[in-house]
Amino acid sequence: MADNDIIEYENDLSKYEEVPEDVRKFLKSEIRGNTPLNTVKVRGYDFNQGIDYHALFKSSLSTGLQATNFGRAVIEVNKMVDCIVTTCGAIEEDLMKCMESTYLGEFHLDGKKLKSEGLNRIGNMLIKNSSYMKLEDFLLPLFDTMLDLQKNNGMNWTPSKMIAKFGEKINHPDSVCYWAYKNNIPIFSPAIIDGGIGDVIYIHSYKNPGLRIDTAEDIRRMYSQALTAMNTGLIILGGGLIKHHVCNANIMRNGADYAVYINTAQEYDGSDSGARPDEAVSWGKISDRSNPVKIFGEASLIFPQLVAETFARRVTSDI
């Protein structure tokens, strides 16, 4: 826990005037939590002070709108990461970027023309078909090795063990899987077959059948990690299956202690992706003693700034 960072953020608000007593009383009665954030006037960064990015980020707490949620998120994140939960797509793209580049395109490019050129669009990014061919060439012999270990050594493969094997084999500094493997950080992926990796598993099942992936062992491992932790914190980028999976694990401990959501989804359709943290509190997925934050924003813009103001500030040159 980075207590000094938290105190620095909260104490920085003391330079602003307090709001009137009637407003303060209303805020304290209506807003969960009891931090200085509830008793300050809205005020942004003063650029006459020059460009100080740390001071700029700190000023977000009193700026209002999503900037304030960003400042709240910094406080929450500074209290937390011991594991990663992600999709199949994130894993395969992490591996493929080490084999072949992904290219910047445009959101409006014509799908039919892209298909004829062997290009696949993800938003405004383009991945070549050849990247998936290289992924297949990478995985098929690795699956042979894993099947051999299963048959001859009794290895029980789970998604997290498989991903660690990917990280070991890719051996590339650009890979998150590689660094997670090096630092013994498990990566859970409950839907590991939902993507290109699943396609290669399907092909392998005909070429050399018998490889098994045990999701039950992984759910036990992940839930046990949540149950035995002194505190748990969630940083959830986007929504869908992963958001629910992470939150659901914390029901077993009557809720996570800290939570930060970053997504653009709305709750009017009843989707789990759009559900605000307070809905998770009602299920016991987030503790009713916590101060969870949702930033309504796109993760590729928000998350790097959040990392810069939290984890990256604590990195030393010998790590």
**Residues annotated as catalytic (active site), given as ranges:** 285
| CA atoms of 243 and 234, how far apart (whole Å) | 9
Q: Any idea what DSSP says for residue 259?
A: E
For residues 228 and 258, is the Cβ–Cβ distance under 8 A? no
| CB neighbour burial string for 66-88, b if at least 16 within 10 angstroms, e if fewer | bbbbbbbbbbbbbebeebbbbbb
Task: Give, in order, the Cα–Cα distances in Å from 19 to each of 8, 28, 276, 281.
Answer: 21, 12, 27, 29
| Residues facing residue 233 across a β-bridge | 258
Annotate 163-178 with b (16+ C-beta within 10 A) or e (fewer). Answer: bbbbbebbeeeebbbb
**Helix and strand counts by DSSP (H, E) for the chain:** 14, 8
Q: Residue 26 contacts by C-beta under 8 Å, 6 or more apart in sequence? A: none
- Give the C-alpha separation, 254 to 80, whole Å: 18
| Rounded CA separation 215/231 (Å) | 25
Distance CA 182, CA 171 (A): 9
* Residue 254 contacts residue 286 (beta carbons within 8 Å): no
Closest CA to 197 of 123, 115, 142: 142
Rounded to whole angstroms, how far apart are CA atoms 233 and 247? 10
The β-bridge partners of 259 are 234
- Residue 242 CA to residue 195 CA, distance in Å, equals 15
282, 247 Cβ separation under 8 angstroms: no
